[in-house]
Amino acid sequence: MANISGSSRRRPYAGAVLLLAALTTTGAAYAVTTSAIVSPKSAAASAEQIELGKRLFTEGCSSCHGLAGQGGSSGPSLIGVGAAAVDFQVGTGRMPMAQADTQAMRKPPVYNQEQIDALAAYVASFGAGPGVPDPSQYDFSNANVARGGEIYRLNCSQCHNYAGKGGALSDGKYAPSVMKATPKQIYEAMITGPQGMPVFSDAQIPAKDKQDIIAYIDYLQNAPDPGGAALGRLGPVTETVFMFTAAIGAVIAVTIWIGAKSR
């Protein structure tokens, strides 16, 4: 290509070849980078584990998600969702759903961790996706809780509420409470974006910041209420209800008591 000095000298196929080369390079680079987020666990999934996963999937998941996880009218495709999504959805009991609803609710999980791992390995075999995070990824022992609070308020509180109590979204959807979420589940939710939640990739929230957020949520889960009963940490609505029932009620009871003597 050293002798190219003008467009007339270019071969007619050069454009197509160049495009092909560029696409191949990009594709290869993408494959290399994305394979990084597939955890070694799913890569090292044994054939035995995948076999168990396949059996469980066919029994419990395929009626909505399709026999090959391709999805259908009642469930989305699971190709490329990754093991982390399965671990989150099944591990929090959201999947399998009890009934068709706007959103799957957190409930006691149906499968044990071994079965969940098998399901995750099987679903991960459909296509590359985020793998189950390693405990070191969601370890928050060295995290900065105050910084986590700032990132939480900026990215999370608009749906999950300032205290992690959850909040309403449109059309019956909701951001659930994070009061019961484990550090692993919080991490998985951020990297997989379950249900209405957006994905917070490492490009948006670096792994270190994710640990800070987990530290803040852990604080919220265990935070004392120095002011006394927190009334559900729901803000002024419950304060109002308390005021007009218990507090005003008590005062009116006293007025009646004082007034009653004279009648």
Partner 1 sequence: MSTSTTPTTPQGKVADFLDERLSISKAIKSNISKVFPDHWSFMLGEVALYSFIILLLSGTYLTLFFKPSMVEVIYNGPYVPLKGVKMSEAFASTLHISFDVRGGLLMRQIHHWAALFFIGAMSIHMFRVFFTGAFRKPRELNWVIGTVLVLLGIVEGFMGYSLPDDLLSGTGLRITQGIIAAVPVVGTYVSFGLFGGEFPGHDVVARFYTLHILLIPGLILALVGAHLMMVWYQKHTQWPGPGRTEGNVVGYRLFPVYTAKAGGFFFVVLGITTLISALVSINPVWMFGPYTPDQVSAGSQPDWYMGFLDGAVRVMPNWEINALGHTLSLNLIVPALVLPGIMTTLLGLYPWIEAWATGDRREHHLLDRPRNAPVRTALGVMSISFYLMLWISGANDIIAQTFRLSINQITVALRVLLFVVPPLMFMLTKRWCLSLQRRDREKVLHGHETGRILRLPHGEFVEIHAPLSLEEQAEILGKMDVAPMALPAATDANGVAQPAAWKARMQAKLSQWFYGANVSLPTRAELLEAQSHFEHADALEVEATNRHRTYEAVGGVLLAPTEDGSSRH
Among 27-35, 59-67, 196-204, 248-256, which window interacts with partner 1 (CB under 8 A)?
A: 248-256
Residues 173 to 192: which contact partner 1 by CB under 8 A? Answer: 174-175
Question: Whose CA is closest to 178, among 190, 169, 170?
Answer: 190
Q: Which of 150, 182, 195, 196 binds partner 1 (CB under 8 A)?
A: 150
Check residue 246 for interaction with partner 1 (CB under 8 A). Answer: yes
Q: Which two tokens stand for residue 58?
A: 């066919």
**Inter-CA distances, 251 with 115, 237, 246, 248, 257, Å:** 58, 20, 9, 5, 10
Q: Which of 106, 207, 219, 221 binds partner 1 (CB under 8 A)?
A: 219
Shortest Å distance, C-beta 171 to partner 1: 5
Residue pair 135/124 in contact by the 8 Å Cβ criterion: no
Check residue 202 for interaction with partner 1 (CB under 8 A). Answer: no
Check residue 196 for interaction with partner 1 (CB under 8 A). Answer: no
Check residue 153 for interaction with partner 1 (CB under 8 A). Answer: yes
Check residue 64 for interaction with partner 1 (CB under 8 A). Answer: no
Number of residues that bind partner 1 (CB under 8 A): 60
Among 86-94, 111-119, 138-146, 178-186, which window interacts with partner 1 (CB under 8 A)?
A: 138-146
Among 23-31, 131-139, 185-193, 216-224, which window interacts with partner 1 (CB under 8 A)?
A: 216-224
Residue pair 109/92 in contact by the 8 Å Cβ criterion: yes
Q: Which of 62, 70, 157, 221 binds partner 1 (CB under 8 A)?
A: 157
Alpha helix (H) ranges present in 61-102? 62-65, 82-91
Nearer to partner 1, 136 or 262 (CB): 262
Q: Which residues of 68-91 are buried (b: 16+ CB within 10 A; e: fewer)?
A: ebeeeeebeebbebbbbbbbbbbb
**Inter-CA distances, 138 with 167, 209, 212, Å:** 24, 10, 9
Residue pair 59/119 in contact by the 8 Å Cβ criterion: no
Q: What is the dihedral of CA 22, 28, 30, 35, to 10 degrees?
A: 180
C-alpha span between 113 and 123 (Å, rounded): 15
Shortest Å distance, C-beta 215 to partner 1: 9
Check residue 147 for interaction with partner 1 (CB under 8 A). Answer: yes
Q: Which of 6, 12, 40, 259 binds partner 1 (CB under 8 A)?
A: 259
Contacting residues toward partner 1, per CB under 8 A: 102, 144-147, 149-150, 153-154, 157-163, 165-172, 174-175, 216, 219, 223, 225-231, 233-237, 239-240, 242-244, 246-248, 250-252, 254-256, 258-260, 262-263
